[in-house]
A = this chain, B = another copy of it.
Amino acid sequence: MHPVPLFIKGRILDNLEAVRGHFLLRLKLPPAFHHPVPGQFVMIRVTESQTPLLARPMSIYAFEKGAGHSVLEIFYRVAGAGTRILSGLKPGDELSLLGPLGNGFSGNQEARRAILIAGGIGISPLTFLAASLSPIREPFPVEMTAYVGAQRKEALAGLDRLSAVCPDIRICTDDGSMGYGGRVTELFERELDAFDPQGCAVYACGPRAMMKRLAELLEKHPLPCQVSVEERMACGLGACLGCAVAVRTPGGDVAFMRACKDGPVFDIRRIDW
């Protein structure tokens, strides 16, 4: 079972621009907040204000349970009005937080190798996943390879943190300003056959186009793959049915599942891209 979500207040420890337009938010939470599973998220809102109206879904980037309190980290990109307001908050300011929410990635106990594919800010939940996989099953640790893509060098964000837990990072930039010149899915396609599907699992998060391309690549490939998807959300709790994700039913029809409750992590092959 997943941890029961709480609606609580968190106090900002820091909220610093890491890379241009990308912020690392560290929040101090009461100890009641449950330990999240990688891939889970929280709904964040600026306390008391009704502007913006809705809370914003944000993946959990890191979590540490202390004695008297916990520290939760969010890695976010300024994408619009809500994240712009968020980026203006200062240490000491309070936020409302609902979480942990969603299903999270399901670890494959057999897997010996994890392939992470991140596009843009999609690196956030995958970093949390990598951090939680890395110490597992010592002395036979999970081997990890991360493909990390961005439009250009300056937009590559969060590499430091990821490289601390995953030494094998393969960088792709659309404009070739760093690493492989081209899409992350292109590089992965070239190298795909080098991976032994046995005991290997793919975890991906990034723009829809990236994940759709990945779904095509893997269509006839035996590698298992979980993706974390983004949809507009209102409640985060499965109540409003606002966050519909089209999935294929066993009968071949399309049905809508809830990104917030049934996801945000789905088997890539279930989704109707």
Binding site for B on A (CB under 8 A): 49-51
Residues in B with CB closer than 8 Å to A51 are 49-51
Q: How many copies does the complex hold?
A: 2
User: Chain B: which residue is nearest A50 at the CB level?
Assistant: B51
Residues in B with CB closer than 8 Å to A49 are 51
User: Chain B: which residue is nearest A51 at the CB level?
Assistant: B51
> From residue A93, how far is it (CB to closest CB) to chain B in Å?
11
Residues in B with CB closer than 8 Å to A50 are 51
CA distance A163 to B237 in the complex (A): 60
A-B contact pairs, 3 of them (CB 8 A): A49-B51, A50-B51, A51-B51
CA distance A250 to B96 in the complex (A): 59
User: Chain B: which residue is nearest A49 at the CB level?
Assistant: B51
> From residue A82, how far is it (CB to closest CB) to chain B in Å?
13
CA distance A51 to B50 in the complex (A): 8
> From residue A51, how far is it (CB to closest CB) to chain B in Å?
5
User: Chain B: which residue is nearest A85 at the CB level?
Assistant: B49
CA distance A49 to B49 in the complex (A): 12
